[in-house]
Amino acid sequence: MTQKRSITFFVMAVPIIISTLVNSANSNKNVTNSASLPKDAKALPGNANDDLSFCNEALPVNDATVTRKLLYSLQKNDYKTIQSNILQIKAIKIFPIIDPILKAYGIPDDFKYMPLVESGLNAGTSPKGAKGVWQLMAGTARILGLRVGRKDDERLNLQKSTVAACKHIRDLHAEFNSWTLAAAAYNDGDGKIARAINKQNEDNYFRMHLNHETGTYVYKLVAMKEIISQPEKYGYKNI
């Protein structure tokens, strides 16, 4: 398929995917906080459940709140909202660089979608000072072995920053023994996640009460994975 035809297919498929998920939904009980989520979002169709996972940690899609968070993330990342076809084009160019580094450090492939969620694969600086496609803070980057200076900031080097991000993710997984919690800790810091676990006596990300950004972070990763890489599983063919 040519690049032009790929983009056309992608743009047409995403709204249909979301419509199919919503129209096919079945309701279920709420378990976790559903603030700021669409009230009309319901359950996902059963035949979509197999691949709805993050690093082989399945999403409990029989939970209505989990479903609403996922649908919300799909809607927030569709073409009409952020022109996600542009992210797809960038991902095609950059994933070949990221993928082998993730593999070398034993980081699951699903983490390659993190830069799209963190920075849209841009190398800008956040209001808090995070920089590069992995949005690393200066202090964290230095601990991970990167040079951070005005003239030489290795957070802007895709290969070196990916190595640093892999080290960080690996350490977070060793601490929490969960890839979903490692992703949450990457977003909010390991200290905050550890305190939340102790306070709530709960270490299942999908049952925890976290701030809105962190509480929807894994859903954003799963939604990005779905939108960028797997439109075909919903029955769409090349056009």
Count of other CB atoms within 10 angstroms of residue 213: 11
Question: What's the pLDDT score for residue 104?
Answer: 98
Question: What's the pLDDT score for residue 231?
Answer: 52
Question: What's the pLDDT score for residue 63?
Answer: 87
The 3-class SS string of the chain reads: CCHHHHHHHHHHHHHHHHHHHHHCCCCCCCCCCCCCCCCCCCCCCHHHHHHCEECCEECCCCCHHHHHHHHHHHHHCCHHHHCHHHHHHHHHHHHHHHHHHHHHCCCCHHHHHHHHHHHCCCCCECCCCCECCCCECHHHHHHCCCCECCCCEHHHCHHHHHHHHHHHHHHHHHHHCCHHHHHHHHHHCHHHHHHHHHHHCCCCHHHCCCCHHHHCHHHHHHHHHHHHHCHHHHCCCCC
Question: What's the pLDDT score for residue 67?
Answer: 87
Question: What's the pLDDT score for residue 153?
Answer: 94
- Identify the burial level of 106 via C-beta atoms within 10 angstroms of its C-beta, where 0-12 means exposed, 13-18 middle and 19 or more buried: exposed
Q: What is the mean pLDDT for each group of 10 consecutive residues in the chain (239 residues)?
A: 43 40 34 37 42 85 86 72 67 92 97 90 76 93 94 94 97 97 97 98 95 94 83 43
Interhelix angle 3-23/64-76, rounded to 10 degrees, is: 150
Question: What's the pLDDT score for residue 87?
Answer: 75
Question: What's the pLDDT score for residue 82?
Answer: 58
Question: What's the pLDDT score for residue 71?
Answer: 86
Q: Is 132 left (phi over 0), alpha (psi -120 to 50) or beta?
A: left
Question: What's the pLDDT score for residue 49?
Answer: 44
Buried b (16+ CB within 10 A) or exposed e, 180-193: bbbbbbbbbebeeb
Question: What's the pLDDT score for residue 97?
Answer: 96
